[in-house]
Chain A
Amino acid sequence: MLNIALPKGRLGDAAYRSFADIGYACDGIEEENRKLIFEDTDLGVRYILVKPADVAAYVEHGAADIGIVGKDIIMETEPDVFELFDMNIGRCFVAVSAKNDWRSDINRPLRVATKYPNIARRYYAEKNMQIEVIKLNGSIELAPIVGLSDVIVDIVETGKTLEENDMRVYEKISDSSAWLIANKSSYRFKKERIDAIVRALGGEI
């Protein structure tokens, strides 16, 4: 049995369709329901639907053999997994954004609101800048508007949300897209099968 962790939501839906296209379809997964596990014993495949930020943890700890996860999550959590293939879906980028009229103040540490405290710390450490990280779990754009932070570090897809909130991108940190990752032990025992999936999806290995 091959266990595949997919992120719940749009990215997971797109990833599932890629798997379905190469012969790994599984009944019921695209229906509206609250089930979290879908299994096809004939194909020998089991899909586990988890929160996008948790996919890497499921794979690293072996609850799933492979998974689909955003590069942003990989950069943030640095899981010990194989990063086998860039699926080229869910393209976006991680960036520093702030209000349109924002001016930097070098006399005090920069206050950064983010879902990605590790990415933010690393980025500013490289620039030798002192920051104060405020970890938030959603609606990051709100932080500069209500004076909670000076800037935000977050993913940007179309930039529409920023625009609607009178904000813009100041610095791009890194590109992000969905990657196929594998548990380092599972890969060694199920190499043929996982390699075949990567190749079918268009990857080289």
Chain B
Amino acid sequence: MNIMDNFSWSDRTVFKLRGLYESYGYDQYHTSKFEPYDIYQENRSFLQNKTVISFSDPYGRLMALRPDVTMSIVKSTAPETDLRKVYYVENVFRLDKSTREYREIEQIGIEAIGNKDEYLEAEALILALKTLETISDKYILSTGHMGFVSAMLDACALNDDDNKAALDALRNKNLAKLRKISERSGLSKEWREILEETASICEPASIGITKLKQLSKTDEMDKAVLEIERSYNAINALGYGEKVRLDFAIINDMDYYNGIVLQGYIEGIPRAVLSGGRYDLLMKKFGKPQSALGFALYLGELTRFFTSHAKKGIDVLLIRGDTPIEVALITADRFIKEGLRVSVEKNMSYATDAKKILKIKENGDTEEYIKC
């Protein structure tokens, strides 16, 4: 029996994913749960959830319970670093929007920071796919491109309010709202159709790219389409093409994200379980010259849906009675070495779920326990 079998589903998943990221040359990154509050204050909109738990340290500095790991990795990256590939398994602290309660959320993710390199992007996408594959074979990786979206909106030259409304409409696939925005901004029929067609794209990437090419009207948009196509071709070559969708409802904050953006879905789980993208603009805000991308998997989201992997019972319950404790320890050790899950108790407990109950004899042998 494999010792891994004794671990919970989420522990095993974490081990598998760590192994995956390690094998691609990513190093583990550890960080403190406490961070100075100001970095979050200045970049609040990078956080999907704006509430940060804050408190004062003994020197009166305002500190935060880390709501996000990416920012601390970015902050700790030296501007002269050529390539930094890290993964993390950390808890983050956020406010749950619907229940208005604080939550501690376990995240596992990667960040690849360095000179802009097509290889790194394709590799990160492959890792996202393999991450989802570790959880279930019924998964989809939805990808969009903030460069395409912002080039499209630039060309539409909407005012600030309409720009924001258009992003919301894309995010919620609200075509009627997009049409309203187009009408009140006096957009040409051509651009109105480009906006609406883009919003309804949600197809296997191979089909989506063909559609997108027809919608691309500016150099910036063309550039984005090329980036998408290049990464997609690489993914397809590895046999993951079918799992990738092109989907322009994947919208991350335009102040931080500028390239490919992604969300992972597992059938039966109502929310995205993985999310990330290219965030060169966040790097820039922190004064770092490198380009960067990454993603995180929300383990907390998943654990609730894998309750069938609940804790296993005890294989052997050893009743030690009055046998000396060293004898009991040695006996227990013998069973543990056989790969069994063992519990030692002085007297029989009647609430046990143990598969087998044995009594330890004076000499360390065991005999069947007979209930009195």
List the interface of chain A (C-beta within 8 A of B).
57, 60-62, 80-86, 183-189, 191, 203-205
Contacts and interface: CB of A to CB of B under 8 A. Distances in A.
A185 B265 contact: yes
B269 A205 contact: no
B267 interface: yes
A185 B176 contact: no
B173 A189 contact: no
B173 A83 contact: yes
B172 A189 contact: no
26 contacts: A57-B98, A62-B268, A62-B269, A81-B172, A82-B172, A82-B174, A82-B249, A83-B172, A83-B173, A83-B176, A83-B177, A84-B173, A84-B174, A84-B175, A86-B176, A185-B267, A185-B270, A185-B272, A187-B173, A188-B245, A188-B265, A191-B202, A203-B175, A204-B200, A205-B173, A205-B200
Nearest to B176: A86
A185 B271 contact: yes
Interface of B: 98, 138, 140, 142, 172-177, 196, 200, 202, 245, 247, 249, 265-272
B249 A183 contact: no
Contact of A82 (B173, B176, B196, B269): B173
Contact of B142 (A84, A188, A204, A205): A188
Nearest to B142: A188
Contacts of A203: 175
A189 B177 CA distance: 24
B253 to A, nearest CB: 15
Contacts, number: 57
Contacts of A86: 176
Given A184-B272, A185-B269, A186-B270, A204 B202 contact: no
Q: Which of B138, B142, B174 has most A Cβ within 10 Å?
A: B174
Contacts of A183: 270
A80 B271 contact: yes
Please provide the 4 A-B residue pairs with the shortest distance between their CB atoms, ordered closest to farther. A62-B270, A83-B174, A82-B173, A83-B172
Contacts of B200: 204-205
Contacts of A186: 270
B140 A61 contact: no
Contacts of A184: 249, 265, 270-272
B173 A61 contact: no
Given A188-B245, A189-B140, A189-B265, A204 B271 contact: no
Contact of A188 (B98, B172, B247): B247
Nearest to A88: B176
B181 to A, nearest CB: 14
Nearest to A186: B270
Nearest to A79: B98
Contact of A61 (B177, B265, B270): B270
Contacts of B266: 185
A185 B271 CA distance: 6
Nearest to A181: B172
A20 to B, nearest CB: 24
Contacts of B177: 83
A56 B175 CA distance: 19
A188 B200 CA distance: 12
Contacts of B142: 188
B175 A204 contact: yes
A60 B270 CA distance: 7
Contacts of A62: 268-271
A60 B138 CA distance: 20
Nearest to B199: A205
A60 B177 CA distance: 20
A85 B173 CA distance: 9
Given A57-B98, A184-B271, A185-B267, 19 more contacts: A61-B270, A80-B271, A82-B174, A83-B173, A84-B174, A84-B175, A183-B270, A184-B249, A184-B265, A185-B272, A186-B270, A187-B173, A188-B140, A188-B247, A189-B138, A189-B140, A189-B267, A191-B202, A205-B175
